[in-house]
Amino acid sequence: MFGRYPVNPDGNRYPVLDLVLCHGSFLNADNTYVHKNKSFRGFGSYGDILVRDRKMYVAPTPFALAEGTAHRRTLILPEGHEVDADLVEVGTLIRREVDQVVVAYNFDLRTNEIAITHVPNPRAGREHVFKAYRAAGDPMDAVVLRTRSQFLADMGAEAAEDE
């Protein structure tokens, strides 16, 4: 579930401006990875500091992936899911799996550099079809998937702002 609210509150209220409820496979089709936190002791000049490898995953939000979700209530589900008769389809979104997937990374504590290992994705090119819905009576403007290049260009601009 993703919701956005205004930066500046209306008094003590933060009204929700838009809301997207989406199936997890819209963000990542692979649900087989089992995350495990790992750690080791021995870092630092005295050799007694614990280093914890606690992965943080930041998936793009549906607001970044699709146009037409701003200031609306939207449900995004894999094609074929049964939905209530009060829901109206407002878009078909097709996500395509990439050619290469990341399987490992190495972090160099001396240089603060990350080296990434890619391998061919055995499901490269596989398409996952999703449907976007709105409640009857809500605005019915279309929801469309942004291109990968549009999304990555925007994320590159945001990453530059973070540095």
Domain ranges of the chain: 2-162
Give this prediction's pTM: 0.85
Check: CB of residue 71 under 8 Å from CB of residue 19: no
In this structure, how many other beta carbons lie within 10 angstroms of the beta carbon of residue 16? Answer: 10
Tokens 């290992």 belong to: 117
Per-residue pLDDT, 91: 98
- The residues, any chain, with a CB within 8 Å of residue 5's CB and separated by 6 or more, are 14, 15, 16, 17
Report the C-alpha gap between 21 and 120 in whole angstroms.
31
Tens-digit pLDDT profile for residues 126-146: 999 999 999 999 999 999 999
> How confident is the prediction along the chain (163 residues), in pLDDT tens digits per residue?
999 988 887 788 888 999 999 999 999 999 898 889 999 999 999 999 999 988 888 889 999 999 999 999 999 999 999 999 999 999 999 999 999 999 999 999 999 999 999 999 999 999 999 999 999 999 999 999 998 888 888 877 665 454 4
Torsion of CA 96, 21, 8, 13, to 10 degrees: 180
Q: Which residues lie closer than 8 Å to 138 by C-beta, 6 or more apart?
A: 72, 73, 88
Q: What are phi and psi of 71, to 5 degrees?
A: 60, 30
